Structure 1
Amino acid sequence: MPRRPSSARKASSRQQPASDLSVLLAPTEKSLSQLAYERILDLLVKRELPAGTVMQERRLAEFLDISRTPIREALYRLETEGLVTRAPGNSLIVKEFSLGELIQILQVRQMLEAEAAILSIDRISGKDLDDLEAHILRLREHGDPQAAENREVDKRFHELLAEASGNAVLAGLIRDLRLKTQMFNLSRLPERFAPVHNEHLAIIAALRAKDPNAVRAGVGAHIENIKLSIMRKLGAIG
């Protein structure tokens, strides 16, 4: 379990007197469950809870300073999303995604994200595209930006296109698949910062031109290049 942050805030679900205004302002059990989910998910994506880690309710509750019921609900949600799985003995562990699973995930992302981007053509605003392009150009001109900055802009790019599709189900599927991609241990793989920026800029240009064929080709090439880069690197490692 990673070290507990000093700023972890207390999220208690203890009952307060009905006359106490704090009971009306306190987090509900539902919001505590969402908070627990988001905090655990962040630990998973950052791989502070690596693949194979046993997810113990009690320890997570103590670490996050949240009661066990919201933790249990968050773990159930993560299990239904396929990010944690049952091990022999019925314990929950962080799922380890194989290369084969990652390739399949990327293949599905290729289809879904291309469709989402095409649907977004008439919905996405010029301002959103301008803002996104400005962030990408700033990173590209920086020369040696932090990996976290690049990943944040990458996240913003893919989320914007998915949400602008106007299809909440499609956006949710893309979100879940992207989370699974992030769960794969890519720490030994090269960062593709410059190529990714150029691919994103090409997609933005296609969206501005309202050219569905160019949008589909751009998104397809972008995810295909990610897949090929991973396969080449892992082949060299193996």
Structure 2
Amino acid sequence: MRELGKSPRDTRPLPVRVYEELRDLIVSGELAADAQLIQEQVAESLGVSRTPVRDALNRLAHEGLVTWLPGRGYLVNPLTPKDVTEVYQVRRILETEAARLACGRHDAVSLARLDNLIDQMTARDADDTAAMFDLNHQFHRALVQPCDNELLLKMLDTLWDHPVNRRITRSYLHTAGSAQAMVDEHRELVAAAAAADEERLVALTAEHLLSGYDEAARDVGAPA
């Protein structure tokens, strides 16, 4: 853990920095399942008081990343097949509808942006899962951006930013060959969008989501 109390260039509120540090350590796997987090020890490691640590741990517990056990502090929860299934089911409903609404509205600029994002993914080191996660998010956001439904886009953004989804996607990206498979499927999605083929775009979106989440589910023990 980094000493956040000694980061004068980071102007974000300390509670936000503590939360995001612990969240990212769990998402990346640096804090593995069943790792014990005790407020006093975490506060000392981060160089902060116990208050922002307590608030961060409570938030992580609410989001399902940790569980508080009396007398033991907080334990990092394992990623479960149920976690994967729940996120997949919600995202499939939202994103296939957004793709349907966006189809036929992609102009040359939006298609060029999608191609550029794919090129960035291809050039990026596949082991840099944090960067690949961000590029993947940008691609999917750009693909459905023309849907012209701000509430739907905000709901998808919230789902993407949910720590459990971050954890699932990062888990999938660690699988051998997953980055290349993702890029190949993205190219097919762009081709369908360019052709304004609604049926194909929606079907490819559903298949793409299923392949990713199903791989992540198998990695933790069961199909999605």
**Match for 2:44: what amino acid?**
E
Q: Kindly indicate which of the two structures has a greater share of residues assigned to helix.
A: 2
User: Considering only aligned residues, what root-mean-square deviation do their CA atoms show, in Å?
Assistant: 3.6
Identity over aligned pairs, percent: 28
Tell me how far apart the structure 1 counterparts of residues 217 and 31 of structure 2 sit (CA, whole Å): 25
Change (3 A) 1:128 1:68: farther
TM-score w.r.t. length of structure 1: 0.70
Tell me how far apart the structure 1 counterparts of residues 112 and 42 of structure 2 sit (CA, whole Å): 41
Of 109-118 and 220-229, more deviation after overlay is shown by: 109-118
Deviation at 1:135, TM superposition (A): 3.2
Q: Which has the higher contact order (CA 8 A, sep 6+)?
A: 2
**Match for 1:10: what amino acid?**
K
Which entry has the higher C-alpha Rg, 1 or 2? 1
Q: Which runs of 4+ in 1 moved over 3 A?
A: 87-90, 116-129, 149-152, 158-165, 182-187, 205-212, 227-235
| Aligned position for 1:201 | 187
Aligned counterparts, 1:10-159, within 5 A: 10=6, 31-87=13-69, 89=71, 91-120=73-102, 127-140=109-122, 142=123, 145-148=125-128, 149-159=131-141
Q: Which sections of structure 2, spanning at least 5 residues, go unmatched? A: none
**Match for 1:147: what amino acid?**
D
| Aligned position for 2:176 | 190
Deviations 1:167-202 (A, max 9, x none): 223431343252242475875x42312221021122
Deviation at 1:83, TM superposition (A): 1.5
| Aligned position for 1:15 | none
TM-score w.r.t. length of structure 2: 0.73
Q: How many residues align?
A: 214
Deviations 1:122-143 (A, max 9, x none): 8877545423422313543x5x
| Aligned position for 2:200 | 214
Q: 1:118·1:216 contact (CA, 8 Å) conserved in 2?
A: yes
